[in-house]
A and B are shown apart, each in its own frame.
Chain A
Amino acid sequence: MGAYVARRLLLAAVAIFGVLVITFFLSHIVPGDPVAAILGPQAPEDVIEELRHRWGLDRPIPEQFLLYLRRLAQGDFGQSLATHRPVLQDLKEFFPATVELATASILVGVAAGLAVGILSAISRGSWLDHLVRFVSLIGLSMPVFWLGLIALLIFYYNLGWLPGPGQIDVYLLRPPWVTGLITVDALIARDFEVFRNALRHLVLPAFVLGSHAMVGIARITRASMLEVLGQEYIKTARAKGLPERIVILRHALKNALLPIITVIGIYYGSLLEGAVLTETVFAWPGLGRYATSAILSQDFAAIMGVTILIALIFSFANLAVDLAYAFLNPKIRYE
């Protein structure tokens, strides 16, 4: 097992390096002028040239790449052209908000998706099944941006049940920065008012963002459960007179989990990339908006930083999924 993990980590490093090379050259060969974009249409030419020189953007691209690699090896991700700060500092600041939202969303997605998927599978062909499939089709095709606005309109504006945009109410002070996750930092600081408030602020964006994951997980759960429910050992379990609950949860679900886990891993990975539209609607200071503005203004160092982070997330998500296989199915062993 240890050797397997080591080999996978090595492979991940190679993959990340590949991603790095491709992203660097792609982002440098597309036309456009990052300095001009960041300084806007009115900055004088000499200021632009000065900055271009200062950032080393007037050097040949291979030279810029080697320089970048050398800095990266020293743990320096470079400076963002847009924020004029080290990229690592930006990532540290914006990533926790994304982690918090993505985790809440995947929890919502998994809980609701599993429940709906199982219900739909065990009542296959009934009105409930049709309803679930219809709703999930709509859910899958509904733009998350629109869903976010509608959710705000109903639950924040009309009913007033949940707070509006932002991570906490404007009157509350953010607890001291330890992990960057507001809920966790509030618990560390024993500030339960902020904790409660932050959780309430999480509800709407997590449901909106989790809805897509929920639909995906529900569909795969239904399909996977249907396949397992037709197996001989399920008939045996039923014939033995086991309660239906035990048959479904212990015998069927456990065996149906492998493809579901894969989907969950992929969803969580993509949620961790940041969700620019949800972040925009809910004024959520996450990675999605940072990444998007970096791409739009061709902010090289920021693009590279975000890319490395995402590549890392996916490598680890895949590894975690594969290890989960072994845990769930004793027949799978890695050597």
Chain B
Amino acid sequence: MNRSRCMLVVLVTLALLVTGWVPNVNGQVAKTLLVLGRLISDAVSLDPAQAFEFTSVWVDKQVYDTLVDFSKDFSRAVPMLARSWTVSPDGKTYTFRLRSGVKFHSGNPVDAKAVEFSIRRVFRLKLTPSFIVTSFIDKPEDVVAIGRDQVQITFNQPMPETMMASVLANPVTGIVDPALIQKNATPDDPMANKWLSTNDAGSGPFILRSWRRNVRIDLEAFPEYWRGRPKLNRIILLEMPEPTTQLLALQRGDIDAAMSLLPRQYRELAGRKDIIVKSSPTFSLRYLAMNVGYEPFSKVQVRNAVKWAIDYDAIKRIWEDAIDPGQTIVPARMFGHLPERPYRKNVERARSLMREAGYERGFKAELLTVPDPPLPDVAAKIKEDLAAIGIDVEVKQLRSADLLGIYRAQKHQMVIARWGADYPDPDNLAKAFADFDMRQLAYRNQWDHPVKQLVKQAVGELDRKKREELYKRIQKITLEEGPYVVFAYPLRQIALRANVKGLEPSPLYETYDLFEVWKE
């Protein structure tokens, strides 16, 4: 054999050895390990005072405990680190009694000082999600430890129970271990934000073991958790940005759950024995907004003509059924939701409204959207629908950086966008959509309507029945006069291997309680 042939044989043998000429056996993830495929590259920081992206909030929900949590139907607060609480007659001051014997992952005790420290830390750091705290608590001194096991929190307004939980069940108020923070503080960073961005100082059911950006996040069970040892030993969140790759890995059994498939892929999985698809409506909405500052949209008849011109069924089909139809600003399943859907395609009615407003000859309008599917198709359908009533729509696709810049500067005419609740109370949506003074959506669309007084009144209403009525009125007014066409509440879907039990998608961003999850 000559030299080159020898080389060839060696190379081929080496290649076979290296790639291991053994077919992969169908993957099977160990029983106490849960591997989840999803997009994790959105995470910026895992410090609860900073976490505001889906993945980081998701992780913090497993790693940190809060004083209270929401009941499964989000209708009331349930005890967590606080085992009970009392409220002052004016509804502003809550006194919490803490559970005893609870430990941080470090072994340090969770006490009233830790709670005081953690919530005051949010004020000190003043990072993105801090508004959830600072909108309702004026200053750090309003959170006070009383002895070892009581904490008193004074809010700046009367707080119905679900509003209290909106602040204190939110991961931003996750309780951190003060001793670890002090140990890792630096003169530049006295609150150890940088350290906590990638490390663990919690007391939740799982310990953060490691985070490799854009690769994976590893969690491990905390055996001394106060609710008992979690059923899973380890959880791995794997970055899998491409839905088809996720689907293949799920079908092969290399991952236990695929969390960001396309609507079509979830549909295709239906009927399989080894995989189940779970879905839940979300506390978020897809909507079209019209800028009242643009002359034609200053007329309520024109805004309503748009609402009557749109073919809602066709838009639902474009979204491939991954949405739950609805037209009011408080999503279904949330307290106070007004289940009215008056608008459906009625071109005659829309045209007569245009005539009434003096726009029988129509006008031109620009519609902004981002190029994420299926939004360009939705925009094209709206263009077609509005052409029927004389509105000549020019669709412009922009990067979200550009679109948001224009939207915030009130320089748009029409825009398709989404909004998700930061906390599961109608106040969050009412403020965004109807209170001009909040400088959110009503402000961006220049809709300064007296309904904002009702929003301010409703948030502090302690009588649950009256509060519900107020939110229904706010929704009714916004539905009939507001500058929004609400299309739907998107569904959240996940696909699981059939042996994974107890994993339910939640309507509130991506909060999953993994404490109870187990594998058959």
Could you tell me which A residues sit within 8 Å of B by CB distance? 30-34, 36-37, 39-45, 47-48, 50, 82-84, 90, 93-94, 149, 152-153, 156-157, 159-167, 170, 174, 196, 199-200, 203, 280-283, 285, 289-290, 293, 296-298
Question: Could you show 14 A-B contacts with beta carbons less than 8 Å apart?
Answer: A32-B401, A32-B402, A37-B405, A42-B440, A47-B131, A83-B44, A164-B252, A165-B245, A170-B254, A196-B18, A199-B19, A280-B241, A285-B215, A296-B400
Nearest CB in chain B to that of A163: its residue = B24
The number of chain B residues with a CB under 8 A from chain A is 52
Q: What residues of chain B lie closer than 8 Å to A83, measured between beta carbons?
A: 44, 213
Q: What residues of chain A lie closer than 8 Å to B251, measured between beta carbons?
A: 157
Nearest CB in chain A to that of B213: its residue = A93
Q: Indicate if the CB atoms of A156 and B252 lie closer than 8 Å.
A: yes
Q: Indicate if the CB atoms of A296 and B401 lie closer than 8 Å.
A: yes
B216 within 8 A of A: yes
A174 to B213 CA separation, bound complex (whole angstroms): 13
Q: Indicate if the CB atoms of A170 and B216 lie closer than 8 Å.
A: yes
Q: Indicate if the CB atoms of A159 and B23 lie closer than 8 Å.
A: yes
Q: Indicate if the CB atoms of A33 and B23 lie closer than 8 Å.
A: no
- Of the candidates B18, B213, B245, B399, the one whose C-beta lies within 8 Å of that of A282 is B245
B341 within 8 A of A: no
Q: What residues of chain B lie closer than 8 Å to A290, measured between beta carbons?
A: 214
Also in contact, A160 and B404, with CB within 8 A (given A84-B197, A281-B242, A283-B242): no
A285 to B241 CA separation, bound complex (whole angstroms): 10
Q: Indicate if the CB atoms of A297 and B400 lie closer than 8 Å.
A: yes
A196 to B18 CA separation, bound complex (whole angstroms): 6
Q: Indicate if the CB atoms of A283 and B241 lie closer than 8 Å.
A: yes
- Of the candidates B45, B214, B419, B420, the one whose C-beta lies within 8 Å of that of A84 is B45
Q: Indicate if the CB atoms of B197 and A161 lie closer than 8 Å.
A: no
B191 within 8 A of A: no
- Of the candidates A33, A47, A84, the one whose C-beta lies within 8 Å of that of B404 is A33
Q: Indicate if the CB atoms of B248 and A33 lie closer than 8 Å.
A: no
Q: What residues of chain B lie closer than 8 Å to A296, measured between beta carbons?
A: 399-401
Which of B20, B131, B215, B420 is the most central at the interface, judged by chain A CB atoms within 10 Å of its CB? B215
**What is the distance, in angstroms, from B101's C-beta to the closest C-beta of chain A?**
34
Q: Indicate if the CB atoms of A45 and B248 lie closer than 8 Å.
A: no
A78 to B441 CA separation, bound complex (whole angstroms): 33
A39 to B130 CA separation, bound complex (whole angstroms): 13
Q: What residues of chain A lie closer than 8 Å to B26, measured between beta carbons?
A: 160
Known contacts A94-B214, A160-B25; can you find 20 more A-B pairs with CB under 8 A? A33-B401, A33-B402, A36-B408, A37-B399, A37-B400, A37-B404, A41-B418, A42-B419, A47-B130, A149-B245, A153-B248, A156-B248, A157-B248, A157-B252, A161-B23, A163-B24, A170-B236, A280-B242, A290-B214, A296-B400
- Of the candidates A41, A43, A156, A163, the one whose C-beta lies within 8 Å of that of B417 is A41
- Docked complex: B384-436 residues within 8 A CB-CB of A: 399-402, 404-408, 417-420, 422, 432
Q: What residues of chain A lie closer than 8 Å to B212, measured between beta carbons?
A: 174, 285
Q: Indicate if the CB atoms of A165 and B197 lie closer than 8 Å.
A: no
A196 to B393 CA separation, bound complex (whole angstroms): 57
Q: Indicate if the CB atoms of A281 and B245 lie closer than 8 Å.
A: yes
A159 to B245 CA separation, bound complex (whole angstroms): 15
Q: What residues of chain A lie closer than 8 Å to B254, measured between beta carbons?
A: 164, 170
A48 to B254 CA separation, bound complex (whole angstroms): 41
Q: What residues of chain A lie closer than 8 Å to B20, measured between beta carbons?
A: 196, 200
Q: What residues of chain B lie closer than 8 Å to A90, measured between beta carbons?
A: 213
Q: Indicate if the CB atoms of B407 and A41 lie closer than 8 Å.
A: yes
**What is the distance, in angstroms, from A118's C-beta to the closest C-beta of chain B?**
14
Q: What residues of chain A lie closer than 8 Å to B420, measured between beta carbons?
A: 42
Interface residues of B, dominant DSSP: mixed
Q: What residues of chain A lie closer than 8 Å to B236, measured between beta carbons?
A: 170
B439 within 8 A of A: yes
**What is the distance, in angstroms, from B248's C-beta to the closest C-beta of chain A?**
5
A32 to B409 CA separation, bound complex (whole angstroms): 11
Q: What residues of chain B lie closer than 8 Å to A94, measured between beta carbons?
A: 214
A45 to B35 CA separation, bound complex (whole angstroms): 38
A30 to B45 CA separation, bound complex (whole angstroms): 28
Nearest CB in chain B to that of A83: its residue = B44
Nearest CB in chain B to that of A159: its residue = B23
**What is the distance, in angstroms, from A224's C-beta to the closest C-beta of chain B?**
22
Q: What residues of chain A lie closer than 8 Å to B86, measured between beta carbons?
A: none
B31 within 8 A of A: no
- Of the candidates A44, A200, A283, the one whose C-beta lies within 8 Å of that of B19 is A200
Also in contact, A43 and B128, with CB within 8 A (given A33-B404, A160-B26, A166-B238): yes
B41 within 8 A of A: yes
A163 to B401 CA separation, bound complex (whole angstroms): 37
A167 to B347 CA separation, bound complex (whole angstroms): 55
Q: Indicate if the CB atoms of B419 and A47 lie closer than 8 Å.
A: no
Nearest CB in chain B to that of A197: its residue = B20
Q: What residues of chain B lie closer than 8 Å to A163, measured between beta carbons?
A: 24
A160 to B254 CA separation, bound complex (whole angstroms): 12
Q: Indicate if the CB atoms of A298 and B401 lie closer than 8 Å.
A: yes
**What is the distance, in angstroms, from A116's C-beta to the closest C-beta of chain B?**
16
A30 to B399 CA separation, bound complex (whole angstroms): 11
Q: Indicate if the CB atoms of A283 and B24 lie closer than 8 Å.
A: no
A-B residue pairs, 6 tightest by C-beta: A37-B401, A33-B405, A32-B401, A36-B404, A32-B402, A285-B214
Q: Indicate if the CB atoms of A293 and B405 lie closer than 8 Å.
A: no
B267 within 8 A of A: no
B126 within 8 A of A: yes
